[in-house]
Structure 1
């Protein structure tokens, strides 16, 4: 997945979260149409999933961190640390909203964790699966008994951080170009690894040499070059594909690599050129409509280009997002991307974030990463797919606190 800047539109789709207030959004549902909404949050292409997790141990090992050396007059007994964060043990009462969260909504994400569990959590997966039909009170009681909450802080002790969001665009596409479908989505070229960095976005779209190396690599065609770039930015998407025989199928395109060129924000380019004062999506979209002859110039300001692989999207897959860096499918509203040097993949996390219109207090799972998701208290919240998911992802940028829940 990728998330750096901007995005555009289409139609209606899944809801992003069930407990965002005061907006009071409904639970995410699978749908058939979409809207791509942009964000100026700088994020980046998500890497391929790692190899299989190590075999489960018979008992949870201690967290893979060293105990923080005693600090003068300030050390909290049991504080743990890793390169970019320290974990301070706290009581369950410190977690805001813990008694109110519908934890059953998070259990699907936890069961996904158990497909590739971190060694410390593998022994808990039998209980996790049994509790999938438990009540929130039963699930909370089990967590209190088996897990210890730790407040996540920067090494210097700052517990305040930043929450942003990302989502999965949903576009109409066609196997055969024509009838408005003119923008290709490519599989990686055979020469991608032999030349680093590979051609820039501008060269890929205009150089005969680059075009020759991409011959036969098209997955499908979309209508709008800006929407295609948004798909590159988010790193994964859903396509309602018009097949060559006239039938329609639903497929996912997942991240398969980049041209190894640097990412540049087109919103930042517009601001730096003095072309807009408003680099939100409405401002960017208004500029593209008023300046159609300069759209390529804007897009080419970002030399990074993303290549995809096609994945089937069956009924069982359609209710989940793409696979994150942990190697498991993301759950809308319950999966986050983190800095893995602060929080290991597969860790349950209590998230609390409040902004002008959005309040989130909920159990989530650390299942993904992004090269711009850096720091101790930093998370990117997966909102799902469709217009509401895109709307939330486009505007969510607010204060954050995190607590990891680690086996006792």
Structure 2
């Protein structure tokens, strides 16, 4: 039987990912089999989880996925000793209008699975108030149980003592307290953490985090607080169709944002994935029947992409006869041009008329529900697709026929409709699942 826990916090940036990785590696070092998940649409953290545990991690999302899909995904943890679900943002942070099975909040997953929550609390600039915050989270919603807290970035032994006493008075267990430790800080960029595959020293960093946390946190007490959990293997509850039988998938540092559950669902349906690297000036495999360009960081590599004639001509030739789809960064590369943060305009593939600029930065963030006005690879006209958008580009031109009517999580229609022209389609949102 596995032991299930949710790692959450009052807010982003408190240390959830670091604690999750450290606990996972520390327990793995003890010989336990650890499975991680990520609550919410973060597509970067699962790769860190895999580096820490040696097991693939996937996203579970209560706004975009129904209960059957979530249970199907978490059932992979049935053979583990410990299962950790890392939350996103604060414990109860989600959208106002419920989605398929919830608001997208980490609390939805904790309640659905019956797993206790370990809170990461950063008491910087406060003392007893940290206990009030923890108590408020504990009492906010029936059905969500807080097992205890780990304090992060405590300033001194006296500071730690003040916070511990207040938490004890509130009846909240303290599993440990972590002093500031710069050596385990994960590097960041504008869309979140620098990806695990880009960090050559990620294994050493996780090892140091595990050593540090094991020194300051009662690992046995945390493990005892977990809920026993023994799911039945679930039938395939994912509603994700592959875009083709043989999928040419752009995959490198510029095209790296792919939800792991999407690739798994494609393979489970019998599709073959044929990776290629635009940054290595590679064209999509000629034997593929569809090409998919995921998001990533094309804005950091725009000059190289523009200079790679073999990739661009190969992509255009592919699109003469077969579908090509781009998500977010991939959509931008399918467009006419991308202006980088320095104001330099770079020609892209030109399969769509989209022009975007990072010189005029504006954050686009949130869930998206799109109703297709035309088919796109794997999905029919009228399909309702749930996804998530996160980028800083500004649209300078989006002249092609809209691909979909797109709403945000409040139901408001947004301008990022996606585009279609010939065999090319693109969206700013990253697909998570199709409504049944």
If the length of structure 2 is used for normalisation, what is the TM-score? 0.21
Structure richer in helix, relative to its length: 2
If the length of structure 1 is used for normalisation, what is the TM-score? 0.22
Higher relative contact order (CA 8 A, sep 6+): 1
